[in-house]
Structure 1
């Protein structure tokens, strides 16, 4: 029975993490197929009320306004809501109060992301589009990459994986050698991953952690890390990088007309011309980029939050954003204050992983309301782990009162 449960967990988290929804094989949404047995047949035996009603309501409002009112994309609205609700049901009814199931789901999630990153490394040296297409049950569009149709999809995977992997070795007091190996593995994944944004988010999130956790020692650690990276680049990679796909070569080949700065500046110009949000002017993106040479190909600014504000305006957009993220932000601020407590170790890793993937959305379009798989998982995982910790505190307090 346990083996069957684990198989369904792997299949569901596989579909969620890699964005598998409707394919040639699955004509019914894959998250629905794999999650239903977990929440109905193998659900947690302890009765628990639904804990995420407020989050679901807020996300539904945000997705409806953005996709239905703003873009008239009803299918995208239905898909995103279904994916998010299945994840909420997974944590509420299947995970429930089981710490073992929660830890297992986290292990499976990051193992899948690691598998995808390993496939990326092989895809750089060997053409693995057919194998990737087999895993995704869909034709892949960009290479090299991991288990993703497009490279930017893979960027969200390593933006979540690499901070977790490196910070895990630090906060769980692994040996210095293991920390260095973890850092090197992260750098290899990031270097070959073709996503400069993921590299930036890894550097920022890891640096913030080191400063908060090691304080003054962090200056030495960051300096050593930079020196190590510089030596590796100079002596081993400098002469070999141009023969393979990597973020440095990608940066050299990048089209200046499509850099993030010009896209963001022009998006801000559009926003200033429609300060209340496009939906209040009865317009969509194609209406405001008409004859705009910067957005001649119909692309966006590649900033998920800026696009959200462009459509919904500062009041509605900011209000929804604060309402959706305020619990996560509260948890993050609390763990910063208690970052050295052992009982917060796993939560610290997850929070910085979520920070990395959330910052990655500053450079791309996918984020929470787009039902980006890793983002959705981490969002509900952090909320659920925090609720589990609160329940444990209440139980321990009641025991102390009972024996007092």
Structure 2
């Protein structure tokens, strides 16, 4: 095997296994920093050995075995922990590599444990998000910093301080129970959703999507739904991710170019995920009818279901979607909701209605530096026949996005439309 394919294989394996590796090692060693160091040691060993020996048949198990050996050596070298050597070494020797194909509803999942640990109440909200995206989402410090428009050093400091505070508070990797677990569920759901969104529409980099993050977020949502089966919002989150995730195969064309929702070939949508999403939404709605509170995830899942039920783009019930966004805006108001509401109202009631919504929030401080308001305005202006203004809005959006594929798409939309043949009906583009 040549070095280049091996390097690519190592990168792919690391993206897939690193989060679970850190989770399992944290459970075994009870030390988050040590677990990360051991995982990195295993990666270095792979970089040194796999180019010559080839990628093992079970690379995850290989990485875990190396990390476990390094952990045992570490404890044996550390005099202050010598008394724990026998106990911990025995635990590590007996521990097995997690079955990566195990049922997703197993509540002893190490990655979910990491998510609850990262959302510990001792941490401020910004630290919870940064630490979870780093540990559970597998994002680099640089990627998190770009997503939040802050310096790399700022995110690095947040993560370091979060780890120190967890250590000072004696935070455990054990899954919380009772009221403490319920209090942390909302934070865990929010971060799982963030991980999915980073995969569905990458905030930066050359790629339009990062499917591996979407798959991990969907897996975590399923696990969470089994852990908290009586919460409509948990099932709503699962439904939302499954329904949106079903579109991933159609979000690129044969040449790898991004494809917008209304241009997608719906025959390529993953129907298994659609069915899972619809079933999760039905369960959320059933629980809602028993008096349990229904919130933003259930509403967003209902919107996604409207898209899933339409066989063709022209069959989408935009009036119902606009109504649901109105309810969402009243339930969980925010500028991003208004951006999406502008799209829905533009489709349901005409471009002018959409422009009225987007223009009311386009200068909101929370949207500063975001390309979304300009991109939505460009689409609405184009639909209104104001092509020069639309091109200007698309150029602005292209200058603001940090994603290479999205920049290319927006730049293309800013380009002048080809001349319309004289035989075409008036207004056809």
- TM-score of the superposition, structure 2-length normalised? 0.28
For the pair shown, which has the larger CA radius of gyration, 1 or 2? 2
**Greater relative contact order: 1 or 2 (C-alpha under 8 angstroms, separation 6 or more)?**
1
Relative to the length of structure 1, the TM-score reads 0.29
